[in-house]
A and B are shown apart, each in its own frame.
Chain A
Amino acid sequence: MLTKRIIPCLDIKDGRTVKGVNFVELRDAGDPVALAKLYSEQGADELVFLDITATVDKRKTLVELVTQVAKEVRIPFTVGGGISSVQDVYALLAAGADKISINSAAVKNPQLIDELAKEFGSQCVVVAIDSRCADGIDWVYTHGGRTATTLQSKAWAKELADRGAGEILLTSMDHDGTKAGFALELTAAISGALPIPVIASGGAGSMLHFKEVFTTGKADAALAASIFHFKEIGIPELKLYLDEEGVVVRK
């Protein structure tokens, strides 16, 4: 049976791993390649690297990091942050990334999703949605959650799937950093309505939260950062717990 995926996310700045609480305050959590290998050995199913520097002169550092990760890590990984063109994607895939994740650039130019899907195949195109709720409506935000848009999250997710996105990485900004659990309702609404997998992100604080997002939230995968980086939850114990609770995971 196809298993539910556990995905640690490594936020990268200047080649180092950091994790922001609500994207603002950054804490250093180590060397990305070492951390990636460790997670892979512990049973992580995939990895996501989000480059939050993403300035032009730092792109080279990112490509070098991707090469290093691809050489040493035996599980799939996604790279995101500041990607805005077919050329950016080509460089990262050629360096060994399995998938790329785009966010702000997709909002600015939705046609880019069609182009990437056509050029590289949907399987490597992940589109991230940062969603925040206001007056009962879920809105799409860009630029690491700093910029509001006029797009509604559910309709946007549908458009992404229609344009050829391979997966949706859905982050609830209301839940991110709270450790109070994933956005179950929003995740279920989007995952249930789409023919493509949804990776839920934001709010993981306990093992129960993962079970909830896979059952009630209908997520195909769950992503978290600080709880893994600071060893609040170990991936082996999380997998064991989910298995006992009847969630199909890779052991």
Chain B
Amino acid sequence: MKVALIKYNAGNVQSVCYALERLGVEAELTDDPQKISTADRVIFPGQGEASSAMAYLKERNLDQVIRDVKQPFLGVCLGLQLLCTHSEENNTTCLGIFPQLVKRFVPSADGQEKVPHVGWNSIENLVYNPLLKDLPDARHLYYVHSYYATLGEGTLATTHYIQDFTAILHRANYWAIQAHPEKSSTLGEKLLENFLALPST
């Protein structure tokens, strides 16, 4: 199976490569539109800042490449946010695959809930979907983020921090996870495994 990891100015892609290796899949980090559009699976990982990431994608025409992808596509963390319609992070127009908006967490008044949201939190309100098939009992994923996607059409699971936000998203051949499955032990590994096992389109 050919897996393309979209190369752009975002951090933490090496961990995704290693997680796929543990599942027996060799991924290629690439910004070549040809390689991306002919891969069996495309993963859009990343940590970073929304406006500079979008600018980088547009400069290389990768925004259109991402919109044109027909095979199963997985956005992770910033990848999920960039697939939404708009992000409050430097008022950025995103790719618009999902109708969700990306907003900044507002810390709770009592200071109990800090921003960023860092650590293990549970996924809830799961909707039946092949990505969420046969999950282990563990319900916690590892999160590191200051912005979140609102709830809406295509929200497959929610997580609660300050308020409920979208943990996992799906529309057509696009899936996205706000947490870091590559760092989320058994549950994270199962989500990646399920993604790789989705029927090709």
1/0 per residue, CB under 8 A from A, across B163-174: the answer is 000000000000
Nearest 10 Cβ contacts at the A-B interface:
A250-B120, A250-B140, A123-B144, A76-B183, A3-B120, A2-B121, A96-B14, A74-B185, A71-B18, A195-B114
In chain B, positions 143-201 with a C-beta closer than 8 Å to chain A are 143-145, 160-161, 180, 182-186, 188-189
Task: Indicate whether A112 reaches chain B with its CB closer than 8 angstroms.
Answer: no
Inter-subunit contact B121/A94 (CB<8 Å): no
- Expressed in whole angstroms, the Cα–Cα distance for A197 and B21 within the complex equals 32
B87 to chain A, nearest CB (A): 15
Known: A2-B161, A75-B183, A121-B49. A70 touches B14 (CB 8 A): yes
In chain A, positions 26-77 with a C-beta closer than 8 Å to chain B are 40, 45, 70-72, 74-76
- Expressed in whole angstroms, the Cα–Cα distance for A216 and B2 within the complex equals 51
Inter-subunit contact B107/A195 (CB<8 Å): yes
Task: Indicate whether A122 reaches chain B with its CB closer than 8 angstroms.
Answer: yes
Inter-subunit contact A195/B115 (CB<8 Å): yes
Known: A70-B15, A74-B184. A166 touches B116 (CB 8 A): yes
- Expressed in whole angstroms, the Cα–Cα distance for A45 and B138 within the complex equals 13
Q: Which residues of B contact A93 (CB under 8 A)?
A: 11-12
Mind listing 20 A-B residue pairs with CB under 8 Å?
A1-B122, A1-B160, A2-B119, A2-B161, A74-B182, A74-B186, A75-B183, A75-B185, A96-B15, A98-B15, A120-B11, A121-B48, A121-B49, A123-B145, A124-B11, A124-B47, A195-B107, A195-B115, A196-B116, A251-B138
- Expressed in whole angstroms, the Cα–Cα distance for A166 and B47 within the complex equals 14
1/0 per residue, CB under 8 A from A, across B102-127: the answer is 00000100010111111111100000
- Expressed in whole angstroms, the Cα–Cα distance for A192 and B113 within the complex equals 11
B171 to chain A, nearest CB (A): 27
Is the contact region of chain B dominated by helix, strand, or loop, or is it mixed? mixed
Known pairs A74-B182, A123-B116, A220-B118. 6 more at Cβ < 8 A? A3-B121, A76-B144, A93-B12, A166-B118, A197-B119, A250-B138
Q: Which residues of B contact A132 (CB under 8 A)?
A: none
Task: Indicate whether A213 reaches chain B with its CB closer than 8 angstroms.
Answer: no
> Which of A2, A167, A195 counts the most chain B CB atoms within 10 A?
A2
Known: A1-B122, A220-B119. A74 touches B107 (CB 8 A): no
A124 to chain B, nearest CB (A): 7
Task: Indicate whether A227 reaches chain B with its CB closer than 8 angstroms.
Answer: no
In chain A, positions 195-219 with a C-beta closer than 8 Å to chain B are 195-197
Q: Which residues of B contact A184 (CB under 8 A)?
A: none
Q: Which residues of A contact B22 (CB under 8 A)?
A: 71-72, 74
Inter-subunit contact B111/A195 (CB<8 Å): yes
Task: Indicate whether B19 reaches chain A with its CB closer than 8 angstroms.
Answer: yes
Could you say which interface size class chain B belongs to?
35 or more
1/0 per residue, CB under 8 A from B, across A75-99: the answer is 1100000000000000001111010
Task: Indicate whether B142 reaches chain A with its CB closer than 8 angstroms.
Answer: yes
Task: Indicate whether A229 reaches chain B with its CB closer than 8 angstroms.
Answer: no
- Name the residue of chain A whose CB is nearest to the CB of B188: A74
Known: A166-B116, A195-B111. A40 touches B185 (CB 8 A): yes
Q: Which residues of B contact A96 (CB under 8 A)?
A: 14-15, 18
Inter-subunit contact A123/B185 (CB<8 Å): no
Task: Indicate whether A221 reaches chain B with its CB closer than 8 angstroms.
Answer: yes
- Name the residue of chain A whose CB is nearest to the CB of B118: A197
* One of A40, A71, A123, A221 near B47 (C-beta < 8 A): A123
Inter-subunit contact A1/B118 (CB<8 Å): no
Task: Indicate whether A5 reaches chain B with its CB closer than 8 angstroms.
Answer: yes
Known: A3-B140, A196-B114. A121 touches B188 (CB 8 A): no
